């Protein structure tokens, strides 16, 4: 039997995506547009939090939103009521966005005229963590009903993000959620992470979150 040739594949499987992500990053820098990649599980409250954020910031900065879903335009419709530019990406059943898809969304949105763009990624705590989109800020949402043990189950996501929003804190009396246990496990994975407990429903913590965002955007533009 002939000897089987073994081919060492050392090029990253993400190489093409990383190239496109860097192109996105360079383009956004030239346009002076700051971009956030927002990730979470389905039902964590991403869209509700975004609407609340937009309402607080839209008179101060120009905002645009790229919504991503496997199907439907429900979230984009909710965002459109705020009056900011929004479009909807359907990704053909994939569990994440890649940099090429984001490029299409940014082009259609007209990001060159915006100060701040949010990519609302597919609801998933696994796949989106591995893909660079060209963003300046990685943020994830963990809702109180999901439980405080998620960093133990999905560590990669928590190591990749710059900030963690704990949403739906107004429901903490209903669910067994341990904030101290969550913070301890998260900081073992990511010591410098910023954590924001908030409720988009009651407004608790929203001002602190929005102030953080404005400071990040303004310092980046300087």
> Tell me, what's the pLDDT at 8?
43
* 10 domain residue, yes or no: no
- Give the chain's domain count: 1
* 4 domain residue, yes or no: no
Place of tokens 């898809």: 101
* 210 domain residue, yes or no: yes
* 2 domain residue, yes or no: no
* 6 domain residue, yes or no: no
d(CA 45, CA 35): 19
* 148 domain residue, yes or no: yes
* 9 domain residue, yes or no: no
CATH number at residue 177: 3.40.50.300
> Tell me, what's the pLDDT at 195?
98
Identify the domain containing residue 38 by its residue range. 15-221
Model confidence pTM above 0.85: yes
Inter-residue contact 36 to 118 (CB < 8 Å): yes
> Tell me, what's the pLDDT at 40?
94
Mean pLDDT by 10 residues, the chain (222 residues): 46 76 96 96 93 97 89 82 91 79 90 93 88 96 96 95 97 95 97 97 97 97 82
d(CA 51, CA 160): 24
* 122 domain residue, yes or no: yes
Other Cβ atoms closer than 10 A to 136: 18
> Tell me, what's the pLDDT at 12?
56
């Amino acid at each position: 039997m002939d000897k089987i040739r073994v081919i060492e594949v050392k090029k990253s499987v993400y190489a093409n995506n990383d190239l496109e992500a860097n192109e996105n990053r360079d383009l956004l820098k030239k346009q002076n547009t700051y971009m956030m990649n927002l990730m979470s599980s389905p039902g964590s409250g991403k869209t509700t939090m975004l609407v609340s954020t937009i309402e607080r910031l839209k008179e101060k900065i120009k905002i645009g939103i790229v919504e991503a879903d496997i199907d439907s335009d429900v979230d984009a419709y909710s965002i459109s009521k705020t009056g900011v530019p929004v479009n909807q990406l359907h990704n053909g059943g994939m569990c994440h966005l890649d940099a090429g898809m984001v490029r299409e969304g940014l082009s259609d949105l007209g990001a060159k005229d915006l100060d701040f763009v949010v990519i609302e990624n597919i609801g998933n705590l696994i796949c989106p963590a591995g893909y660079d989109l060209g963003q300046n800020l990685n943020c994830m949402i963990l809702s109180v009903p999901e439980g405080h043990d998620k960093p133990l189950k999905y560590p990669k996501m928590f190591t990749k993000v710059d900030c963690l929003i704990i949403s739906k804190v107004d429901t903490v009396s209903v669910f067994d959620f341990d904030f101290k246990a969550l913070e301890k496990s998260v900081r073992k994975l990511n010591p410098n992470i910023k954590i924001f407990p908030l409720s988009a429903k009651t407004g608790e913590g929203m001002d602190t979150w929005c102030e953080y965002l404005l400071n990040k955007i303004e310092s980046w533009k300087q």
